[in-house]
Each structure stands twice: as structure tokens, then as C-alpha cells.
Amino acid sequence: MKTLLTVILNWRTADMTLQSVQSALREMAGIPGAITIVDNDSGDGSFEILSAALTANGWDIGEIPVRVLQSGHNGGFGAGNNVGIRAGLPNNQRPDYVYMLNSDAFPDAGAIRALYDHLNTNPITGFAGSYIHGDDGEPHRTAFRFPSALAEFESSIRFGPVSRLLSKYIVAQPIPQTTTRVDWLAGASLMMRQDVLDTIGIFDETFFLYFEETELCHRAASAGYPTDYVRHSHVTHIGSVSTGMKTWARMPAYWFDSRLRYFTKTHGRFYAALATISLIFGSILWRIRLLIQTKDRGDPPRFLRDLIAHAWRWFTRGPQYKTTPRKR
């Protein structure tokens, strides 16, 4: 049978991570492999809490062994997951598949097996991801098209006729009702073929947070390995627990960094500039509408000013990647 390594990245969510591990252990029954927790330099005692819990529950010596590794440095989402991917299985063996599971995500019955079986029966598929829903049962949009300059304009202008005209470029797709091929999937529950990672490489660690799974799926698709949305794999996802996105007062600098890094890497510097101009132009037109219509602004405070200032610095001084951006 194919072997499976599940990687769960922890950042200051030790109790929730243990719940995720428990769910993953239940759903990995009958699948040979292991679970690796990577503590992303939480600095809050998470590593010690997780280590003690594994021993107390006997998970470290179970049929599906669980271990916890310390990253030693919070390099972001991709870098943290890379620690677990590089480590491989505890016996120093290379897994056939790697399953990336968020610390605030909990596989429902049959979820992991559905992804595992899908990769087994679809050898061309590089990555397979789940249908995600909240703990309230509400579905989450996690199936996407690759971002583009036209998509940036459509998303920022928020105008029905434009959206209809550019419908084939809209990034967030309606939730698929059947298993289907997509451009990319959110990384909360994503199973990846190790052979593909060996060919295209693992996460680009210049992304701290956001766009890293988009770029990885783009790299896989460019190499001929598509991504599939597996509708009957259901995963409960709390969302934004580690990132704190729901409480952001302003869009953090690393979001702007990641966005421009994605466009520059996948399409070149000129296209990145074009996509940014499209986003700025659409945002300006949207704000003009707000002067005559009562609508929710829809963006974090100072989004447009921060976008313009960041783009100016990026294109005049070049990207300035920080080893450790401000805490999430």
C-alpha cells in the first residue's frame, strides 16, 4: 500500500492541534504512515505541551506514530510545512503521499481515505483537496482559478456587469457539487504526491503567508500535474485561528509581499505591475461608487493607500523579503 505522511503545522494553537491530530489518527486507520506536527517556533510552550500529550496518549508509539518537530524559526506557513515534508516518515523512509492539514481543521469520516483513494486511482493528478465547511456546517469557498490581471480588476471594482463580462476570470469559483479539476485549492486539507514534490520542489519559502499554495499548484500545473477537488472528502475548518485574519485592523505587509511575489514569479515583473495597476484602478472606481451609494467598503482600513505605497516600494527598490515578518 502507498504510505502517507500527514503534516500539521502548529503556531500557538496546541490544544486545537491535538484535536486535529486525534481526528487525523481516526481517519488514517488502515493507511500506513505517520503524523508529524511541526511547531513553528510558537514560543508559548506549545512544543512542550504537544510533546507531553503525545507521550501521555501513547500516540508516539502507536500503529500510526505521531511526532512533534520544532522548526526553530517562524518562517511562515510554507517554510513550516517544509520542515515536516523534508523530515519524511519517522523511519527515514520517503512517503508516497504528503497530506497537509491545518491545525484548525478536522477530517470528517472518510475524508482522508477519499483523497488517498483519489490519488491512487488518478495517477495524473498531482494534488487532491477536500470540500471544506465551517463548524456551523456552512461551506467554504476553497476551489479557485489562478489569479490574473483581469481577475484583480473584477474583484476590486465589484460591479455586476463587469463580473458577468469577466466571469471566466473570477478567482473564487462556485462550490463544486462533484469531484472536478480546478486550478488551485486552499491548503487546509491538501494531499500531494511526493513524486510531484520531488519534481517541482516544495513550498517557496519567500512566501511568509498567503499565495504559497497558489504558487505551488501553479508550478505543478505547469509541469503537467493538475489539482483535483474531491467533493466527497469533507473537512471541518474553523479558519483564521493562527493568522488572526478576522481581527486584522489593516492588511499586513506580508500579504502584499506574497501577492506581488506570486505574480512576479509566475508571469514576470511587467505582468505583476499590470495586475497591480488593475487592482488599484478597480479599487479607485469602487471608492467613487461609494461616494454616491451606501455600501460596505469591503476592504480593511487604508487598503488602497497601503497597496499603492507597497507597490511603489516594490517596483522602485525591489522586493525586501524579511526573514521573520511581524507576528501573525
CATH code assigned at 75:
3.90.550.10
pTM of the complete model? 0.93
The per-residue pLDDT for 241 is 55
pLDDT at 48 over 50: yes
Residue 24 sits in the same domain as residue 96: yes
Over residues 131-143, the pLDDT tens digits come to 999 999 999 999 9
Domain that residue 276 falls in: 148-169+248-328
Over residues 256-303, the pLDDT tens digits come to 999 999 999 999 999 999 999 999 999 999 999 998 887 777 888 999
Q: Report helix, strand or coil for 9.
A: strand
The domain tally of the chain equals: 2
Spatial distance between the Cα atoms of 180 and 128, rounded to a whole number of angstroms: 10
Assign 3-state DSSP to the chain and report helix, strand, coil percentages, each to 5: 45, 20, 40
Nearest CA among 192, 182, 197, 171 for reference residue 262? 171
pLDDT at 92 over 90: no
Residue 195 sits in the same domain as residue 122: yes
Give the lowest-confidence range in 57-61, 72-76, 242-246: 242-246
Residue 60 sits in the same domain as residue 159: no
Single out the residue in 222, 245, 268 at which a domain terminates: 245
Residue 119 sits in the same domain as residue 20: yes
Residue 211 sits in the same domain as residue 95: yes
